[in-house]
Each structure stands twice: as structure tokens, then as C-alpha cells.
Structure 1
Amino acid sequence: MHINPYGRDPVLLAVDLVNRPPATADALRARCLDAGLVVDAPVREADLTEVRDYLDAWTGIVDAPEPADRARALNALLAASAAHPRLTDHADTGWHIHYRDDDMTLAGVVCSLVSVGTALHLTGRGMHRLGRCGADGCGRVFADVSRTGRQRYCSPACANRDAVRRHRSR
């Protein structure tokens, strides 16, 4: 089975930004650079606000109870942020597909990238592959990129704490 890797990195960026929200526009820029994004537009304070608002809507996809609900929520984000696909070699890194317009703000790029990445992730790996940590009191978001597709916790630490809690309760 071939799994499209292009959904993984944007979805993991979204998970990271949701679980550890950046405090400043410069921190958002740094996190995007760390995730491998080419940031070629000036970063504005409005980018931080727009990305936070977008991620609030994106967590609606994570929390949607049924695949059809996830699809509806994601389709709304795709309609608002993605453009028709086009080939580009904007950073001389090789030809690749963009699903966004040229000359977008950082917020626009993040929203488009995460929307399309989420669509690729869910359709390529399974509509159940986003969730909230199953450990009591955690609630952090995770993207299941495991081979088996059975992830229930945001981290090994939460999985271990929950296992210890279950063991002690017996």
C-alpha cells in the first residue's frame, strides 16, 4: 500500500500549533520554518490571529463524531483556503504541487497547507486518524501516523501514565 506522505507534515504542524500555541508572530514564523515551510512573505501580527482562528475551526475536524461530519468541516476549510492545484518550483527545490494562490500571507499559506494536508492524511490513511488523547485530563490533539492506525494517546508518556493508572485501579 502506498501512503501519500504529503499529508503528514502539515497535519503534524497543525497538531503542534494546537497543542503548543505560539505566543507571537515571530514564534509562529520560527515554528513554520522548523516544520520546513518556505516563509517568503513578511510575518504580520494578524497572521498569528488568523492561524489561531483557523486552528480553532480545524479542531472541529478533530472533534467531529462521524466521518461525514469531518468531511463537511474539512470541505468548508478547503473551500475557504485552498485554490486549484498548480505546479511550482518557487524555491528551486524541485517541481511540486501547490493548492494555494501565489503571494499569500503566512496565515494563508498555513491554512491552505493544513487544509490540503488534512484532506490527504484522512483520505490516504483513514478518516479516524485524528483524535484527542485518551488519557484522563489530557485532551491534547494527535494525528495518527502509525502503521497500524490505532493510536489513542498524544504521546508515549500519556500512554504509560494511563497504563499505570489502569494497573493500579485493578
Structure 2
Amino acid sequence: MHLNPYGEDAVRLALSLVTEPPATDEAMVARCLEYDLVIELPVTKYDRAATAEFLAEWLTVIDATDPEERARRLNDLLRFASAYPRLTNHADDGWHIHYRDPGQPLASVLRTLISVGTALHLAGRGMHRLGRCAAEGCDRPYGDFSRTGKQAYCSPACGNRDAVRRHRVRRALDITP
């Protein structure tokens, strides 16, 4: 089976920005560069604020558990994010498709990249491939990039803690007279 990799980097970037929001413009630039995002314009204070506002909207896509509702919420984001797809070699790093107009501020680029990437991730891997951690006391969002598509925890650590908790509960029930 071949899994479609498109969208994964954008979803990972979004999760990174949500779970560990950059505290400064410089940190925002550094984070985007970690994900190989080409930044065309200087980053302003608007970019961080607008990105945080967009990510709050994006989290509503994760929180929608019904596929139709998830699609509706994502389509609302896509409506404000994307332009016609275009082939570009803007950074001389090879031809690729962009779903945005050239010369956009970073916040607009992130809105488009994350919205389109999320749509490609869900369409290619399954509408259930976003969620919140199932571990007690944790509600971190996650993107399911697993081969099986059955991820329920934000990290192996949360999965292990929850397994230990369930094991201790079972053992306590076995010991009870």
C-alpha cells in the first residue's frame, strides 16, 4: 500500500505551532525554516497574531469528529486560503505546486499551506486522521501519520502512561476480595 505523503509536513508544522507557539517573530521564522518553508516577505507582528487566530480556527477542524462537519469546517478555511493551483520554481529548488498567490505575508502563506495540507492529508489518508489525545488529562491535538490509521494518543509517552494506568486498574480489580 502506498500512502500519500502530501500534507504531512503542513499538518506537522501546524501541530508544532499549536502545541509550542513561538514567542517571538524570530522564533516564528526559525520554526517555519525548520519545516523548509520559504519566507518571501519580512515577518511582522501581524503574522504571529493572525497565525494564532487561524490556528484556533484550524483546531475546530480537529475537534469535529463527524466527517461531514470536519469537511465543512475545513472548507470554510480553504475558502479564505487558496488561490488557483500554480506550478512554480520560485526558490530554484525544483518545480512544485503552490495554492497561493505570490508575495503573500507569512500568515497568509501559513493559512494556505496548512489548510490545503490538511485537506490533502484527510483526503489521502482518511477523514479520521486528526484527533485529540485519548490519555486522561491530556488533550493535545495530533495528526495520525501511522500506517494503520488507529492512533489515539499524541505521543508514545501518553500511550504508555495510559496503558500503565489501565493495567493498574485491572490489577486492583483482580486483588479486590
Q: TM range, normalised to the smaller chain? A: over 0.9
**Kindly, what percent of the aligned residue pairs are identical?**
60
- Aligned match of 2:94: 94
Question: Larger Rg: 1 or 2?
Answer: 2
Gaps spanning 5+ residues in structure 1: where? none
Does residue 57 (structure 1) correspond to residue 57 (structure 2)? The answer is yes
Q: Which amino acid is 1:144 matched to?
A: D
Q: Tell whether the 8 Å contact from 2:65 to 2:128 is kept in structure 1 after alignment.
A: no
Q: Give the drift of 1:5.
A: 1.4
| Helix, strand or coil at the partner of 1:75 | helix
- Aligned match of 2:48: 48
Partners of 1:150 and 1:42 in 2: CA distance: 40
Gaps spanning 5+ residues in structure 2: where? 171-177
Q: Which amino acid is 2:82 matched to?
A: A
- Partner deviation per Cα, 1:133-153 (whole Å, 9 max, x = no partner): 010111001000000000000
- Aligned match of 2:175: none
Partners of 1:9 and 1:75 in 2: CA distance: 20
Q: Give the drift of 1:23.
A: 1.3
Q: What is the TM-score when the length of structure 2 is the normalising length?
A: 0.94
How many residue pairs get aligned? The number is 170
- Aligned match of 1:34: 34
Partners of 2:77 and 2:31 in 1: CA distance: 22
- Aligned match of 1:142: 142
Partners of 1:146 and 1:119 in 2: CA distance: 17
- Aligned match of 1:162: 162
Partners of 1:5 and 1:89 in 2: CA distance: 20
- Partner deviation per Cα, 1:22-77 (whole Å, 9 max, x = no partner): 11221111100001101121000110000000000000000002000010000010
Q: Give the drift of 1:6.
A: 1.8
Q: What is the TM-score when the length of structure 1 is the normalising length?
A: 0.98
| Helix, strand or coil at the partner of 2:149 | coil
- Aligned match of 1:12: 12
